[in-house]
A and B are shown apart, each in its own frame.
Chain A
Amino acid sequence: QQPVQSPQAVILREGEDAVINCSSSKALYSVHWYRQKHGEAPVFLMILLKGGEQKGHEKISASFNEKKQQSSLYLTASQLSYSGTYFCGTQQQSGGSNYKLTFGKGTLLTVNP
């Protein structure tokens, strides 16, 4: 079940903040966030686990609401280097033989000077 991301695209000026949302219709064990720059491979940003653990990356942080099966990625004081497509990936069950990571369609973030 592919998670749904919103918005599909967002344009910012350098220094502005942004929030990207990810939601699933299924109960989730973890949510993963990746960033992909044009023509490059996706790069891992962070993982949020069931149980409320939050992890941050520089000025990028995220939250995970288990009850709503939703996650949000917060980009604070955006920099030009933040431009790219952000993907959330969801895992429905913990480890073992069920480590299946399904990605949303992505949110294109453009940061202008």
Chain B
Amino acid sequence: QVQLQESGPGLVKPSGTLSLTCVVSGDSISETNWWAWVRQPPGKGLEWIGEVFHSGGSTSNPSLKSRVTTSLDKSKNQFSLKLTSVTAADTAVYYCARGSFITIFGGTNAFDLWGQGTMVTVSS
């Protein structure tokens, strides 16, 4: 059974860096998938933050103005998010998620598995 579990500080100071890790069990992050971060401010909808591919390449939402870095740690089978220069607007539940490319073997082209989410508050 594949599981994703986020971890990281629940409180970050304004102008600081938000750092989260997602540990993957039951699947290898080196396979043909992508590994993403999605956030949800309290009482609001979902926002795609960015993702890293099994190859190590990455992409992120341009609305976050290059504040995002995503990376893989294949030795630990986990991936990470760093969001710099945070403000109160970055307060949200942060989810990690897995996506799969569509191939002859299957795949969804969607976020098909999610972590439980972790609340991060930006406050002094």
Q: Do A and B come from one complex?
A: no
Q: Which residues of B contact A (CB under 8 A)?
A: none
Q: Which residues of A contact B (CB under 8 A)?
A: none
